[in-house]
Homo-oligomer: A and B are copies of this chain.
């Protein structure tokens, strides 16, 4: 049932690194971009609620404006596609209803038959809203998505540089999202490493398994 050997999986996770210099002349093919988009869509999320949206920027004129709002890091400009991961603002029980409609359609059942699930997930979300942790919860979900995205990219031989520290509000403005229902929280530059990137050949620094993994 496995579709990859254990050695290939680990080899690709060792091959990947946070790219410092992308080759600005190498573009990811449409086929691969579509698969990476699909992999984002398929990311698991809490209760299946998908409180997110993803913007894939291939436009060079937009990418050229990004280093200035990313602490002058060149990756968004030189990469092939800059992926932005957004959370929905003001996520609420009505978003649970929206998901229940989607679930009912997928399973070809009535919305009524999903009432207990709607109540359960809706109660959870209502609690998050009243206790003020709903944005934190949504943010956690896009971190799962960036994890799945980076793993997928590595396995498909695509390079990546996750960018946590981008200036979210400036990205919202650049993309015309100021008053939109979604808000940028994370970025991930995708493309192919430049031959001159000296970081590519540096050994990966990870704590040993003995130090961070315990079996009980």
Option from B2, B37, B103 in Cβ contact (under 8 Å) with A205: B103
Distance (whole angstroms) from the CB of A170 to the closest CB of chain B: 16
Identical copies of this chain, number: 2
A59 contacts B by Cβ under 8 Å: yes
A111 contacts B by Cβ under 8 Å: no
Bound complex: CA of A170 vs CA of B180, how far in Å? 40
Q: How many interface residues does A have (CB within 8 Å)?
A: 76
A17 to B, closest residue via Cβ:
B44
Q: Give 16 pairs: A residue, B residue, CB < 8 Å, sorted on A.
A: A3-B12, A9-B35, A9-B39, A9-B156, A18-B48, A40-B213, A41-B213, A50-B207, A53-B212, A54-B213, A57-B216, A62-B216, A102-B206, A136-B136, A147-B147, A147-B148
